[in-house]
Chains A and B, each alone.
Chain A
C-alpha cells in the first residue's frame, strides 16, 4: 500500500491520511486519540468496504440463488479465509464469526463449558482478566459448582508461573487467559502457559482482544484450543468478533444458539445440525461488518505487525520517558514484554478529573478500572488513566499528552 517512505522508514503522515476521523478538532483543539485499547479508528479501506457492500452486493448469504446473494456469500467467506490466514489456523471451518470477544468467550462457556465442566473441576484464570474473560467462567462455576483459581502477578504486572505450576497440580480442566492485558499492557507467555496446561490435558482459551493489533498470531504455534478477538480493536468495524477453535474441539461441542443457518434438517420432532462453522452461526450474521473486517486485515498485513509494533513502542517509550518526570506519578504495569499501553496513577488526583481536563484540550484517554476491578484492588487503586497508542499516533501526540497532564495537574493541585 506504500506506507514505507523512500528512506525505508514508515510514513506515519501517509497512514494518518487514511484515517479521516483523526483530522478534526475537539473543543477547538486537534484530536489526539489515545484510547486505542478500547477501540481503534478505521482506515478508508474499511469504511469504503462497508459503503461498497451496501451499494453493490447487499443480500442475505448462504441461501439465495441470485447473483447478489452469491456475491455477498463469496465476500463473507473470503473474510473467513482472511481471518484463517491472519491467525494461521489450519482451516476456515475453524473460524466462527461472533459479535465480539465477549460473545466468543460466552459461546465457549455455554457450549464446551456446560458439557465438560462439572462439580469440583478447576478453572484457571489470571488475576488480570478483563471482566469478559472472568464473569462467564464465574457464572459457569456457580452453575456447576466448579472452582476458580487465579494465577497471581508481581508488582511489574507479570504472571507468576511458579504459582501456576502449583495450581496445575489440582483437577484443572480449563485455563482461560488473556494474551495481552488491557489495563497493564503485559504480553503474557501464552505459548508456555498453554504447553504447561497441555501436559495435564487441560483445555486452553485465550482472550486475544488486546493482542491481535500488535502481535503476530499463530494459533497452531501457540497450541491453544480457542482464541477469541474483536475486529474493532484491529482497525475493523464494531460488532464482529472471531472465535477460533480447533476442528476437533468444535466438532465435539453442541451448538450455541438455535435458528436458521445452523441446521441441516428440521422436522416437527427434531433437527440435525449443520457442519462447521455454520453450526455456531445461527441467524443472519453481521454480513457487512464481517466483509469489511477483511479490509482491515489487509490494511494491517500491508504494513506488517512488526513495523506496527516497532512504531507503537517508539511512541510509547517516548511518552513513558517524559511522563516519569511528573511528581507523584506512578506507571501501573511495567512488564518486560508489554504493548503500547501506558496506565498510570497520580497521587492525590482522581483519574476522572484528569480525563475530563484532557478531553478539554482534545486528548482522548480512558480512565477508570478498565473492566478489571479485581486487578485494581490488587494494586490498591480505584482506577487508572490509560493512554494506548496505535499505528497512527505520533511522538508529538505523546508530547501533547504529557503537556496536557502537566497542565491538568497544575489546575487540580
Chain B
C-alpha cells in the first residue's frame, strides 16, 4: 500500500521531532538509537552491486517494486550513518517512482546533518540519496 503521508510531510515530521532536542548529544543519541533499531540487512542482499562504498564507511541499498510502489532496505557498517540511512528509508519507502522523483530532500539540512551528506569520500550517504532516485527512475522506465 502506498504511504499515506507524502515525502514532504514525512520530512516535516522528522524536522519537528528533531526540534525537541536542545543538545547535540540528544540528537546524536537519537540517531544512534535509530541506527541500532534498523534491522540488519540479510546477508543475501549485501552483494557488491548493492554496496555504496565510502572512504570510511559503506552503505548497502536494495529495493523491491510491487504494485507501482518502491520498497527500500538499507544498512551500514557505521552506526551514525545507519541512523541517517534509517531516516532516508523512512522518507522514501512506500512511494511511487513519480513521487520520489519529484521530491526535494530538505530534512537533513534542517536537522543540521547536512555535513554528513557532503559529497566527500567519507561515507556512502550522498551516493545513497542519489541512488534512491536512480532506482526510482529505473522502475519508472520499466513500468
Give the B-binding residues of A (Cβ under 8 A): 27, 350-353, 355-357, 360, 367-369, 382-383, 407, 411-412
Contacts and interface: CB of A to CB of B under 8 A. Distances in A.
B57 A352 contact: yes
A357 B77 CA distance: 16
A189 B61 CA distance: 47
Contact of A353 (B24, B29, B79): B79
Contacts of A353: 32, 78-80
B135 interface: no
Interface of B: 24-25, 28-29, 32, 55-57, 77-81, 116, 122-123
A411 B25 contact: yes
Contacts of A412: 32, 79
A352 B56 contact: yes
Given A352-B78, A353-B79, A412-B79, A360 B56 contact: no
A368 B78 CA distance: 12
B52 to A, nearest CB: 14
B25 A352 contact: no
Given A356-B116, A382-B77, 13 more contacts: A350-B78, A352-B56, A352-B57, A352-B81, A353-B79, A357-B80, A360-B24, A369-B55, A383-B56, A411-B28, A411-B29, A412-B32, A412-B79
Contacts of A382: 77
Given A367-B56, A368-B56, A383-B56, A356 B80 contact: yes
12 contacts: A27-B24, A351-B56, A352-B78, A352-B80, A356-B116, A360-B24, A360-B28, A368-B122, A369-B55, A382-B77, A407-B25, A411-B28
Contacts of B32: 353, 411-412
Contacts of B55: 368-369
Contacts of B78: 350, 352-353
A342 to B, nearest CB: 18
Contacts of B56: 351-352, 355, 367-368, 383
Q: Please classify the interface of chain A as helix (H, G, I), strand (E, B), loop, or mixed, using the class held by over half of its residues.
A: helix
Contacts of A368: 55-56, 122
Contact of B122 (A352, A357, A407, A411): A352
Nearest to A350: B78
A352 B32 CA distance: 13
A412 B80 CA distance: 9
A352 B83 CA distance: 13
A354 to B, nearest CB: 10
A352 B123 contact: yes
B17 to A, nearest CB: 18
B92 to A, nearest CB: 23
B119 to A, nearest CB: 16
Nearest to A351: B56
Contacts of A407: 25
Nearest to B83: A353
A357 B123 CA distance: 15
A255 B103 CA distance: 55
A27 B81 CA distance: 20
Highest count of chain A CB atoms <10 Å: which of B24, B56, B77, B79: B56
Nearest to A356: B80
Contact of A357 (B28, B57, B81, B116): B28
The 8 A-B residue pairs with the shortest CB-CB distance, nearest first, are A350-B78, A352-B56, A352-B78, A368-B56, A352-B57, A360-B24, A353-B80, A353-B79
B28 to A, nearest CB: 6
Given A356-B80, A411-B29, A350 B24 contact: no
A357 B28 CA distance: 8
A27 B77 CA distance: 26
A353 B79 CA distance: 7
A407 B80 CA distance: 15
Contacts of A351: 56
A411 B32 CA distance: 8
